[in-house]
Structures are given as C-alpha cells and as structure tokens.
Structure 1
C-alpha cells in the first residue's frame, strides 16, 4: 500500500466517523416546548423507556425539555380542552430493551389530574396535588410530596415514596416498596416483593402480600389489616389502634406496641404455631391432642379488637 493511498484511506475513515457521529446526534431529537393550560388540567403521559421527571410548579404552563428516544417516531404534545396529551411515540414493534431511551423533565401545574405510563422507563414525581396515576412494567419510580388520590403500580420495578398524603394505593408484583412519612388511607399489594415502611402516619392501613415480608412502623394507625401467605409480619403499633387483623400461613407475626392498647385479643396459632404474650400474664392454651395454641385476653377495657392467626409460624406480642 503506497503512502498516498494510505493517506486517502485515513481521510475516508475519519470523514465517515465524523459523518456517523453527526447523524447519530441528529437522530436524538431535542425537545424544548411549552403550552398554557387552565387550572387543574388533565394530562395523559406516555414515555416507554428512559427517564422522566415530573415536577409541580405554580405556573399555568406545561413545559417539556430534554431529548427523545433514538427510536422516536414523533413527539405528541397537544391540548384538547382541559386534556393535554404528551407522548414520545415509538414503533409498534418496539420490545423495550434497546439502549437508553428518552430523557425528559416536565414541569406541570401542581394541582392536576395525571395518568402516566411506561415500559422500561424510570419515573420521578414531586410537588403534586390531585389525582395521580402511574403505571410501569419494569421501571422504577420515586415519588415525593404528593397529595390526593394516588395510585402507583409497577410489575417488576421498585417503588420509593416519601411524603404522600391522601388515599394511596401502591402495588407491585416482584418489586419492593419502601416508603416514609405516608399519611391518610393506604393500601399495599405485593406478590413477591418486600415492604419496608418507616415513620408511617397512615391511619387506615391494608396490606395484601403473597411471599414477601412486611416490616413497618404504623404508630398513627387506627385500623390495620395485613394478610400474607408465606412472609413474616413485623409491625409497630400504638394505643390509638382500634381494629387489627393479621393473617399469615407459614410466616411469623411480631407486634410491638408503643403503649398498652385498649383491645380484646383473639389469636390462633394453628397447627404447629406458637404464641408468646408479653403484654399480660395470660398464657396460651393448647388443644388436648395436637400442638395447636390459642389465646384470648383483654388489655384495659378491651374496646377494640385484635385478631391474628398463623398456621405454622410464631405470634409474639410485646410493649
């Protein structure tokens, strides 16, 4: 190979690399758009993969900035009356596992109704009031400072929530839920994930779980219902609680009260179950021909109710 041919080949390679880089840069479309909206707008948002951040502010504007998915077939940002549609449209054959996706920061009026969905997108939401719905397949979500009717669901992603207040539903199949400073009425549904709740201010609590563990401090709770198949239940309650239902098949139940409650206790240890009562001097009874244990007793006047059952686990009560 002579020197002139080598130099020419080098220029061609360099030129091709620059052209390829330029085309790739052009393929990722930048977005910087906004529209004026009326009070309490209704927003339909769909970003299938990437990262989306939604932030509430005190302006009558919706602002979208960032870049679209490299597979994007167009950005929909339109208003029909009080409804606003935002979508990074992808091919119908999209499978959800290709490279990085969209990266958008969206500012919205803090009071609104929003329904958002994604496939492998990670979502973050903060400073919103109203009706908030978010549904993901494999993405994670982080939500903070949201008030109203809140519904968060993910198939295999994790949910991290802080500072929620209102009527709250958190649901995941194989992901984990971790929350802090939740207030109001809360319902959790999990299949195989773990629930960890810290400094919870929920007054009405319901947890349905299949095979994961439940651990939480629910010291403001007045009503508590926890049902799990094979996971352990470990909760902290106060004397404010008036109705408790705890049920597990093969897991352990451990309840710690901050103060002596005013409850009537009925506990069934089931076949192979054990009961450890550290609240009073009452001892569990055993059936004559099996190892089944049960106990009934009252603390204070026994105005409220506490019902717990397990098949082969251990029930422990303490203060």
Structure 2
C-alpha cells in the first residue's frame, strides 16, 4: 500500500470525525467514539477523556501529541493553559484496550504538553492502535511550536511566533496573527483571515501535496500571495492581481491599503481563494 494512503487509513481508524471538532463537548465526543462501529480487526475499543493544565512560563509552548495524535489550539481570555485529551484505543480484546489506555500518560509541565506513549508510537501490536487528540486552550498571545505526524493540526484565535508542521494530516488556521510559519507535507491547508488586517509580522503557509484554501473577509488590508504549481486555481474574491511565472504558479496582490505579507500556496493540489464565511 502507498505509504501516504496507509497513513490516511490509520488516521481514519484512530479518529472518528467528531473527535476533530475542537469545541465539541466531552460527553458528545465519548458518545460518538463509543458508537464508532467495529470491524473484524479492531473489535474492541476504549474511549476516555482526561483533563489537565498548567500556567504559562513565558517560553514557546511545545505540543507533542504522539505518532497518531491531533492538536487543536484555541485562544481564550485567561492566563492559563487547559488541556483536554481525547483518548481512543482499538484492540482485539477489551482488556487489551483498557491496558493500553492505562499506559498512556498526558504530561503538562514547563512549556511542554506531551503524550507519553506505550511502545513509543501509535501501534502496540497486530490489530491494536491508539491515538490522542489534544484540545489546548491558551492565552490569546502565545508562541507555539507544534508538529504532528498522522493527525490534524488547527490553531484558532491566537497570535504569536509560531512554527507549525504536519506530515499526514490537515492544517487549519483561523483568526491567527503574529509571525507564523506553517507547513503540511501531505494534507489540505485552510487559512481563514479575520478582521481587517493581519496582526503581526506576517504568514507563510504551504502544503506540498494537498489542496489549499484562503478565506478573506471584505475590507481586508494586506499584501497577498497565493498559487499552485500542479493544480487548478479558483479565485472567488474580487481583486487586481500581478502574475509571477506561469498563470497558475503564483499570484500577488495588494488589498486595500496593504499590510504584512500573507503567503498561502500549494505545490500539488488545487488553490481556492474566496470570501470568509459570515
């Protein structure tokens, strides 16, 4: 099996779609997880929610979700960090699933939130795997360093210096600001701009193998660059553009009075630009 397809299959096995909705209640997540269906290879599952937290210490926050882990970062008006861990284990017996769950540790200390895992990864034996989806509430001004392997990564309503990376999973940004560098290797990229201007130094966001979508509100002010190398382009936002290279490679424009640079591109996939949903 193609390794990218294999990674996608693993994500679908580990995560019900509901687990990726960052603001879903714990009770709703547990109900969806337990009702996620069975198959011949993974007949038993264990679903669990754990909560922890810590105080910011001034250093960039690092989040390490494990091999099959997803991360959702959400800004709030508190000087504290709250972590909710959605844990799902699938195994051949219920006893195996519960034993694997007991071995999973959620650590939050200093400037790190980390999933300490049995066996060092998401697979612990034939027909057994697990994943942890972390929902992390942080102060709206927070620096971030986050990387996921086979899981989604999203950041909402946070500004700061950010280094964000995902290997095999979607990457989404909404209402963010600061000096942001974000990249996806194999997965879709979605950027939703809010307000009238970028708050900070700018945004560099790209995906290598996946679609990219840039959502822009009316009356936004910025220097924008977007494009694709191998894929169609769909621009549903009125603008005057400057073309660089082939027509579908890179397009640059200044919206309103201009502002910090915002770059959203893909190499192998379609590029869509449209108005932010109201």
TM-score, normalised via structure 2 length: 0.51
1:176 paired with 2:188, answer: yes
Q: Is the 8 A contact 1:45 1:87 kept in 2?
A: yes
Aligned counterparts, 1:108-147, within 5 A = 108=137, 110-111=138-139, 128-147=140-159
Residues 130 and 204 of structure 1: is their aligned pair in 2 closer, same or farther, counting only changes over 3 Å?
Answer: farther
Q: Is the 8 A contact 1:195 1:212 kept in 2?
A: no
The residue that corresponds to 1:102 in the other structure is 131
How far residue 89 of structure 1 moved from its aligned partner, in angstroms, is 0.8
CA deviations on 1:111-153 (whole Å, 9 max, x unpaired) are: 3xxxxxxxxxxxxxxxx42212332334333332121223332
Residues 43 and 168 of structure 1: is their aligned pair in 2 closer, same or farther, counting only changes over 3 Å?
Answer: closer
Q: For 1:47, which of 26, 44, 66 is the aligned residue?
A: 66
1:74 paired with 2:114, answer: no
Q: Is the 8 A contact 1:31 1:66 kept in 2?
A: yes
The residue that corresponds to 1:197 in the other structure is 214
Q: Is the 8 A contact 2:63 2:145 kept in 1?
A: no
Higher helix content, 1 or 2: 2
Give the RMSD, CA atoms, in angstroms: 4.4
State the distance in 1 between where 2:145 and 2:242 align. Answer: 24
CA deviations on 1:12-34 (whole Å, 9 max, x unpaired) are: xxxxxxxxxxxx67xx4745343
Aligned counterparts, 1:182-221, within 5 A = 183=198, 184=200, 185-199=202-216, 201=220, 203-205=222-224, 209-213=228-232, 217=237
Q: For 1:37, which of 52, 55, 64 is the aligned residue?
A: 55
Q: Is the 8 A contact 1:141 1:158 kept in 2?
A: yes
Q: Is the 8 A contact 2:75 2:158 kept in 1?
A: no
How far residue 92 of structure 1 moved from its aligned partner, in angstroms, is 3.9
Unaligned runs of 5+ in 2: 1-43, 90-96, 262-278
Residues 161 and 61 of structure 1: is their aligned pair in 2 closer, same or farther, counting only changes over 3 Å?
Answer: closer
The residue that corresponds to 1:153 in the other structure is 165
How far residue 174 of structure 1 moved from its aligned partner, in angstroms, is 3.6
State the distance in 1 between where 2:238 and 2:178 align. Answer: 16
How far residue 235 of structure 1 moved from its aligned partner, in angstroms, is 6.2
How far residue 227 of structure 1 moved from its aligned partner, in angstroms, is 6.1
State the distance in 1 between where 2:184 and 2:133 align. Answer: 24
State the distance in 1 between where 2:150 and 2:86 align. Answer: 22
State the distance in 1 between where 2:186 and 2:245 align. Answer: 15
How far residue 192 of structure 1 moved from its aligned partner, in angstroms, is 3.7
State the distance in 2 between where 1:153 and 1:65 align. Answer: 20
Residues 63 and 138 of structure 1: is their aligned pair in 2 closer, same or farther, counting only changes over 3 Å?
Answer: closer
Q: Is the 8 A contact 2:149 2:168 kept in 1?
A: yes
State the distance in 1 between where 2:116 and 2:167 align. Answer: 21
Count of aligned residue pairs for this structure pair: 197
